[in-house]
Structures are given as C-alpha cells and as structure tokens.
Amino acid sequence: MVYSLDEDTWSTYGAGLLRFMQFCDAHNIPEVQRMPASAQLVSAFLAFHAAAVSPSTVNNWISGLRFWHIHMVSLRAGLDISNPCDAAVWAVAAIAFWSCCRLGELTGANISIVSRPLDPTCPYAALHNHLKVNTSVPKSAPLFAYTSHDNTASTLTKSWFLARCNDIWHKAGLPKMFGHGFHIGGTTHLLLLGTHPDIVATQGRWKSRAFLEYWCRIEIILPIFITNSNYDTSRNSMLTLMNSYRKKYSL
C-alpha cells in the first residue's frame, strides 16, 4: 500500500498516522481501540488539533488514517459470510493473511493456522464458518469450493477471489491489491507485532535470503507505523533480531 502512493502523499499520510498514535499514547488509548478507530476517537483527535493546524492539514491527516485502516477489516465488512461464495472468499483471505501465504499455496501446501479469538479477522473462525456454510459441498471437492446458485459445487478460482476482494476494496475507497499482498502483508504484520523472524520466515515459507532481502526493503516504512515515543527501542529491537537472523544463516 505504501508504494501505491506518490512520495508527497506518503509523507503526509505517514504524518497523520504518527500524530494520531501520539495522541492515543498521550491519552492512554488501548491498542485495540485505535484500529479501526471509532468516530468518537477520531473526533477527539480532530478537536485536539483543530486550533493548532490548518484545515487542509487536518483533512490530509484524516485521509491518512482512513488509508491505513487495514484492507482486511474493510473486506470482512463488505462480505456476507452467510453466503457460500463469500464464506469461501473470507476463509481464503483470512488464512492467506495470517498464515503469510501465496494464494497458490492454499491448494497444495501444508499450512499452519493459528486461532486469534479476539481478532475479527481470525483465520480459524473464517475457515470454520466456510465449512459450516458449505456443508453440502462433496468431500471430494477442493477445500475452498462453495455451493453455487444451482446447488452444485463451484471451485473458488484465484481470479474470482481477487475480483471479489478488489470490488469491495474499491467501494471502500482503498487501492487495488494483488495476490502476493496477503503474503507480504501478513509477514509485515507479524514482524510489527514482535514475532521472531525465524517464526515468521517459517510461517511464510520464505527462503532465508529472500526473507532478508524483503525485510531490508520494508525497513524504510517502519517510521510510519511506530510512534516517536517508542520508535528507537522498537526499531533497535527488530534490527537486533534481523542481524541475528543474518548471522545465523551466513547471509
């Protein structure tokens, strides 16, 4: 998503997120209440800065906050998971994101799925819902097959899956994403949550060198995600882990 913006917009949107996170830190807003942010929280943020910055700056900050509310939350809100096809789409999306999958791996790789009971994008819950909604699908059908309008089993293809996701994201005003976005997005999210690089690399089935090269590219976006108050500590901690990873595999 970062690279879908030009440099000036990237900088402005990053500033908006930074100011928002600083506001939340100063007022002890719990992490779980920040993203997605409630209307009340955004209003409080605006009121706090209204007298100090220009209206255009505030508008840019709000655009940035809107942009950084993750695609997954918008996708879940736009899907009807009681619908057989949408249930399959949501299961694929949630598993691909949290298991750091390439979409093709969902048809043949051994994938570890971990329950996240407090998260609305929990992959285990998504898979359970898919299997419940599509109980009439024959056991011989692919895992993410769904019941079509004529009560026959239809296979969820990559092209239809991405078309459905991007249709919802487009309506929500979000940029188009490609299949590899789930793999990269899930990897980035786990790293920023503090998950050890070895675990992330294993979960995403990354080759050691490819994973390290990818990490070197995303280092430049970390300031956008991390507030000034804890940036140095968090960044140094992650750099230490990645240097250890590099030495471990002689890269």
Hey, where are the domains in the chain? Answer: 2-69, 73-171, 180-248
What is the rounded average pLDDT of the residues 66-72? 63
Statement: residue 133 has pLDDT above 90: yes
Alpha helices in 152-196 (DSSP H): 158-171, 180-192
CA distances from 152 to 11, 83, 134, 149, 186 (A): 50, 14, 11, 7, 33
Average pLDDT, the chain: 76
Task: Note the pLDDT of residue 17.
Answer: 62
CA-to-CA dists, residue 233 to 23, 155, 186, 223, 237, angstroms = 19, 47, 23, 12, 6
Picking from 69-78, 153-162, 163-172, which range would have the lowest pLDDT averaged per residue?
A: 69-78
Q: What is the DSSP letter of 30?
A: -
pLDDT digits over 167-197, tens only? Answer: 999 998 877 888 887 887 787 777 766 778 8
Q: Which residue has the tokens 């598993």?
A: 95
Query: What DSSP string describes 192-214?
Result: HTT--HHHHHHHTT--HHHHHHH
* Banded pLDDT at 3 (limits 50, 70, 90): very low
Per-residue pLDDT reduced to its tens digit, 206-233: 877 777 776 665 554 454 444 444 545 5
Higher pLDDT: 18 or 139? It is: 139
pTM for the full model?
0.63
Give the per-residue pLDDT at 69.
55
Two tokens at 166?
């991007």
What's the CA gap between 63 and 11, in Å, rounded? Answer: 12
